[in-house]
Amino acid sequence: MRFPEAATRSLFLRRTRRCRRAWSSAVLCRRPRGLEATPSLSPISYSRTSTWRSPTSPPECTARQSCPRSHLLPLPLAGDGATEPELHMANRLDRDTSGLMVITKSHKAAGRLVKAFTEHKVQKTYLALCVGCAPNWDKISISSGHGRSKFGAWRVYSANDVGRPLPGGSTVKHMLTSFEVLFVNWQGKFGDIAQPLDGGESVIVQKEGERVINTADEKNHEVLVRAYPQSGRTHQIRLHCQYLGLPIMGDVKYGGVLEWEGVTCDAHALHAESLSFDHPITGVPLRIKAPLPSWARKVCKQMQQNCP
C-alpha cells in the first residue's frame, strides 16, 4: 500500500497499533453448556499447562471498521516470554445455556464491560426451543416483576410489585423480554435479528399466577422463539417462557418436558445467540454471533426441508 505523504503513513500506523491494543483487551468465546460462568472483576484462575484455543467455528464479528482478530488467538502460557493476562468474565450464562461469553484481559476493559451489562447497554438475543401451546401471536413483549419466593426460588411477580421488599432483604425488580416466533412445528423462517424488535403485542403482568396461554389449543407443539431480553435478571427468559405457556424443552425446573418424541433431554434448549455493544476501548459498535449448537442446527435443517 502506498501513502501520499509520511504524515498519512504515520497516522495509519498509530491507528493500527491502537486497534491491535484494543482487541488485545478482550476474548470472545463460545461456551458449551454445562459449565459454570459468573461475571466478576476478580481475575479468573486458569491452568498454566492448559492450551487455550479458539473455537472450531469462531464467532462472527461485524463492525464499522476492520480490526485484527487477536482476541481469538490462544492466550500466552507461562514460560513463553509473555505476561499472563488477568482474565475477567463480563457476563454470565446459566449452567446449561450455550452461547457467547465475553472474557476481558484487562481490568480497565472488565470494568467498562461489566458496567455496560449492568446498565443494560448490551443488546442480547437468545434462541429457545419450546414445547407448549401454539402461540396466537408472532411478536410479544412481556413486562413483569422478578424476585425470589419465600422458598428461595426465582419467580414472576406482578409489575405493580416492583420495589416491594422480599424476605431476605431483596426487592422485586423489573424485567422485560420481547419474543418473536420463528417457527411452529417446523413451519416458519429463521429470520434475521431485529434490533430493536418492533411491533407485536404488549403484556404487563398484573396478577401473580396469571398465564398468557392460547387455551383453544391444548396440544403440545414445538415452537422456536428468539428472545430479546431488555433486562438481565436471573433465569429471565426461562421464567417468561414458562409464563407464556411455552416452557423451554428440557427445562424441568420451569415446566419443560424431560422427554420429547422418545428422546430424553440432557439440558434445556437455550442458546445465547448474539451480543451487540460498543467496544470498551475504541467505542466501535460491534455485533457478535455465536455458531449454532447441535439442536439448533438440526432445527434449521428440518425447517429447510419443510420450507423449500
State the catalytic residues. Answer: 94
* CB crowding 121-147: b at 16 or more within 10 Å, else e: ebbbbbbbbbbbbbbeeebbbbbbbbb
How far is it, in rounded angstroms, from Cα 134 to Cα 199? 19
Can you tell me the distance from the alpha carbon of 165 to that of 147, in angstroms, rounded to the nearest whole number? 10
Residue 186 CA to residue 307 CA, distance in Å, equals: 8
Phi and psi based region of residue 186 (left: phi greater than 0; alpha: psi -120 to 50; beta: remaining): left
Number of neighbours of residue 276 by Cβ within 10 angstroms: 17
For the record, the C-alpha cell of 182 comes out as: 420463528
Question: Using an 8 Å Cβ cutoff, are 67 and 22 in contact?
Answer: yes
Contacts of 16 (CB under 8 A, 6+ apart): none
Place of cell 445467540: 273
DSSP class of residue 171 equals B
Burial 284-299 (b: 16+ CB within 10 A, else e): eebbbbbbbbebbeeb
Alpha carbons within 13 angstroms on the beta-carbon side of residue 113 total 31
